[in-house]
Amino acid sequence: MKYHLLFLLIGIKSAFLWSQQEGNLLEEIDGNSSSTYTAPAFKAFKVGNLQSTKLAGKKELYLYLSHRFGSLDEGFDTFFGLDNANTKIQLLYGITDKLQIGASRESLRKTYALSAKYGIIRQSNSFPFNIVSYTTINGNSEVSASQFPGLEFEDRLSYATQLLISRRINERLSLLIAPSFVRQNAVLEISQDNNQFALGIGGRLKLSKRFSLNIDYVPHLNRAQNSTFVNPLTIGVDIETGGHVFQLLFTNAQSTNEPGFISNAEGDWSKSDIFFGFNVVRVF
């Protein structure tokens, strides 16, 4: 319990500290009548698996559906993984234009999650980056005390916090980096530290009016040497349809939650042990 309360406090405190800095920057921007905001770096809430700097607008409600099917290397036995889907259903709501909250349930490990995303500052002709903070708390409801005697509620929890920094380079190219911290109260490999660090990188290359190529990769910085898990790599496309974005992708991580895909990506691109999936969103 102490860890998830601490995690929330850290996320809230960080948002306020950054918002104070933003206030000073915005005062400078407001004082310059020629300052204008740059168009958003990303059209979707995620690059692929990695969070983007896009936020829900004030009072906007989104239904976000993510599917990651089974591994392609299973062949026709599971119709290249289509028989084994991991499904995530998520609601996102914009409290303000800068603050988004979310709640979700992922079928993999029956994981429930809460999240918050806060826009610190937007790219403009007075500031070169979009900066957004993101925090999530995940709970694994699949494990039971009968399987693991002595299991406590805190053992089910994992957390992630990220600072998302993006830049729209030009009309076609946007780039993002995401320093990330993950805390797993119970790790799947005994030699792995509970506190973990990663540096996500991602990009979007617009190919036409409605299509873009998206890539994200998240190197884990203190993974245990004998770990069977790998760094997640995701390659996909955005398809814009009537103001909405439909994402098709291939990835070596079946989980769509940050602690899951950053820490526990299990596939191998060199052996076609990868997962096809998609993200689709609907605004209400």
- 4-63 pLDDT, tens digit each: 444 444 454 444 444 444 444 444 334 444 569 898 899 999 999 999 999 999 999 999
How distant is the alpha carbon of residue 268 from its chain centre?
20
> 176: exposed, middle or buried (C-beta count within 10 Å: 0-12, 13-18, 19+)?
buried
In the predicted model, what is the mean pLDDT of residues 229-235? 98
Question: 215 or 209, which is more confident?
Answer: 215
Can you tell me the distance from the alpha carbon of 31 to that of 85, in angstroms, rounded to the nearest whole number?
52
Q: Which two tokens stand for residue 250?
A: 């291939």
At residue 66's C-alpha, the angle toward residues 103 and 250, to 5°, is 140
- Tell whether the model's pLDDT for residue 205 goes beyond 60: yes
Output the pLDDT for position 136: 98
Q: Contacts for 93-97 with beta carbons within 8 Å, 24 or more apart?
A: 93/56, 93/59, 93/60, 93/61, 93/62, 94/55, 94/56, 94/57, 94/58, 94/59, 94/60, 94/61, 95/58, 96/58, 97/55, 97/57, 97/58
Alpha-carbon torsion (223, 221, 49, 114), positive or negative? positive
Output the pLDDT for position 243: 67
Share of the chain above pLDDT 70, in %: 86
Residue 145, sorted as left (phi over 0), alpha (psi -120 to 50) or beta, turns out to be alpha
Share of the chain above pLDDT 90, in %: 71
Output the pLDDT for position 74: 76
- 136-195 pLDDT, tens digit each: 999 999 987 777 778 889 999 999 999 999 999 999 999 999 999 999 999 989 899 999
| Counted domains in the chain | 1
Mean pLDDT of the chain: 87
| Three-state secondary structure string covering 57-124 | CCCCEEEEEEEEEEEHHHHHHHCCCCCCCEEEEEEEEECCCCEEEEEEEECHHHEEEEEEEEEEECCE
Output the pLDDT for position 81: 65
Q: Which domain holds residue 171?
A: 2-283
What pTM, to 2 d.p., does this model score?
0.85
Q: Which two tokens stand for residue 14?
A: 């960080």
CATH number of the domain at 73, please: 2.40.160.40
Q: How far apart are the first and last CA of the chain?
A: 34
